[in-house]
Structures are given as C-alpha cells and as structure tokens.
Structure 1
C-alpha cells in the first residue's frame, strides 16, 4: 500500500464517525418539522414515491418491525423510528422541501 493510499484510508476512517453524527443531527432537526406519526400518504410525499412502492416498503419485515405502529388501527409510521431506519440502511431523503410538505398538510 502506498503512502497516498494509506493516507486516504486514514482520512476515510476518521471522517466516517463524523458523517454518521451529521446524519443523526440532520434527522433530529428534520424530525422536528414532521408529525410524530406518518401515514402512507405522508410517506409517499416524503419519499417522492408512489403508493405501490410505499406499500411494498411498509410490508418489508424489517421496516414493519422497526417503524410501523398498528395499535391505533390504521398502520402509521413512527417518524423518529423511520429516520433511524433510513440512517441504518444508508438511505437518504431530501428534506429540503419539508417546509413545502408542511404547507401541503404534512406536519
């Protein structure tokens, strides 16, 4: 391994925990702009996906166990758990339009 490769690897290893912290902080800030519980319609707007895709996601066993609450009858997604699930699965959502979503009735 060359010096340059060793240096790049060391920098990546040093930055990785910081990137995780930034994502967690972003999730906390953005979670404050969203309701505590999300409906399937809310998920469609947030993810920018159709009903079929969101339905498939909500049927995934790992997603249901981590995020879906059914005690109220209709299945809801717990926002805080959803954001943690996104981070664990290294998925990104563009929250730059959260304020627009709030004007459309989310939040």
Structure 2
C-alpha cells in the first residue's frame, strides 16, 4: 500500500497539486475539522458509495490516525482503485482545516 505523511499531503496542497482526498471518519469526527476540499465518505459507507469514485483517478485516504484509512485503501485496492494512505491521519495534520 502506498503511503504519504500528513506533511507530504500538506506540501502537495500548498504547491497547488490537485488531490482527491477522501476522509473516512464518522460525521461527528469530520465536524471537528477537515481538510478543505476533502470528500467525506465514512468507512462504513465506502462499499456502497465507491461507484461515485473514478478508477482512473488517484485517491488519498484520510482518517483520525491512519488505521481506518489503511483499511479503506486495502478495500479500494481490492476493487481496482489507485489509493494512498495518509499516515498519522488528522492527528498528524498541521495544515488548514474547515
């Protein structure tokens, strides 16, 4: 599984790189702050909403600590998606939140 640190992702965003970020945390967690522009799909709904994603795109998965996003990566990879896990999750995120 490919991985990037929270700092790597922040650097790419600051450089203006177009990123497809998916936050798999629960609704109450996302309400405390999320990365601007992130798509919110709770992990429990990912199986039912993966039809919204494009297999030709790369996605970076985000959660609180990196564990759930790792599970999301494994699931999506098994269905042919190109995904990267943001290690450390939002606990390690020092960038802007909304």
- TM-score between both structures, scaled by the size of structure 1: 0.28
More strand by share: 2
What is the TM-score of this pair, normalised by structure 2?
0.29
Between Structure 1 and Structure 2, the one with more helix by share is 1
